[in-house]
């Protein structure tokens, strides 16, 4: 059985479904309650905790800081108003989407992006062109097609709101 993460008070706690099933079980005719105003905030907190925990198993804070630096560099590149950068902004957006939503880039590629000196336009253009040539401009679309054939993780969130 896969373990689930549940939030009690302020800290997320990992429990199995068997540990909480009696607390979330409803009677057949019991009316559903609306989600609380904080449901989605708590859901994001739990999702972030899960992603943070997985990142620690894969390599920890250093990996996360490299990823964050790559994200910051790409956002900076996308926001740069320069005629040499403009044709590469679409590719930079693709890289950013990948990092934020798919995570297909190797640690080596993430480091290359994180190590870009966004103040040096010439070196940024050169490195982005090399990355585009190596990965292919449409690499993420190909990866998305491949991912469609792989089973996806589904997160089911249940809010236990006791009427009593």
State the residue range of the domain holding 105: 61-148
In a domain, 85, yes or no: yes
**pTM score, whole prediction:** 0.56
Please state the rounded mean pLDDT for residues 127-146.
91
Could you report the per-residue pLDDT of 91-114, keeping only the tens digit for each?
Answer: 999 999 999 888 889 999 999 999
47 found inside a domain: no
Residue 54 domain flag: no
Q: Judge whether 94 lies within some domain.
A: yes
Tell me if 10 is assigned to some domain. Answer: no
Structural domain contains residue 78: yes
pLDDT, position 72: 95
Instruction: Give me the pLDDT at residue 74, please.
Output: 96
Residues paired with 162 in a beta bridge: none
127 located within any domain: yes
Distance in angstroms (rounded) separating the CA atoms of residues 70 and 76: 10
* Higher per-residue confidence, 54 vs 137: 137
Q: In sequence order, which ranges of the chain are alpha helices (DSSP H)?
A: 17-24, 39-58, 61-79, 89-97, 107-114, 121-135, 139-148
> In total, how many domains does the chain have?
1
Q: Note whether residue 40 is domain-resident.
A: no
């Amino acid at each position: 059985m896969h373990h689930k993460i549940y939030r009690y008070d302020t800290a997320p706690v990992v429990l199995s479904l068997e540990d909480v099933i009696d607390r979330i079980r409803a009677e057949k005719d019991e009316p559903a309650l609306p989600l609380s105003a904080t449901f989605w905030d708590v859901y994001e907190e739990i999702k972030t905790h899960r992603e943070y925990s997985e990142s620690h198993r894969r390599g920890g804070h250093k990996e996360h800081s490299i990823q964050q630096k790559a994200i910051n560099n790409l956002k900076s590149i996308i926001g740069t108003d320069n005629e040499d950068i403009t044709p590469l902004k679409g590719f930079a957006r693709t890289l950013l989407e990948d990092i934020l939503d798919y995570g297909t880039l190797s640690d080596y590629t993430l480091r290359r992006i994180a190590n870009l000196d966004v103040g040096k336009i010439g070196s940024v253009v050169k490195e982005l062109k090399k990355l585009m040539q190596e990965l292919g401009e449409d690499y993420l679309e190909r990866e998305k097609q491949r991912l469609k054939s792989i089973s996806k993780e589904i997160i089911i969130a249940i809010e236990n709101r006791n009427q009593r």
